[in-house]
Amino acid sequence: MCGNRKFAMKYIARDDIVALTQDAAKISGIQYIMDADTDKDEVVKILCEQKPPRRKPSRQEAPKTKQKSPQDEAKTKLQNQED
């Protein structure tokens, strides 16, 4: 159902889906993706697209906000009340 605008199985027909491998196409009788009515260059581009690897932010990029503990918040309230 991925990439399909039909959100329930009852709305999807065999013509709406394709097999990603030739073996799956032979076994299921569903059309192989490279034989479907699509732009083959676009299919190859999507399947072979390389995404850049994810990286964790370095310490310099990480936000420098410190969450206050309940004890710290209580101390701050007491100090504000004394002033």
pTM: 0.38
Q: Where are the domains of the chain?
A: 9-48
CA distance 14 to 11: 10
Could you write out the DSSP letters of every residue in 32-74?
BGGGSSS-HHHHHHHHHPPPPPP-PPPTTTS----PPPHHHHH
Name the token pair of 70. Answer: 């309940």
CA distance 67 to 78: 18
Summarised one tens digit per residue, pLDDT across range 27-76 is: 999 988 888 766 677 767 777 776 666 776 666 655 556 677 777 777 77
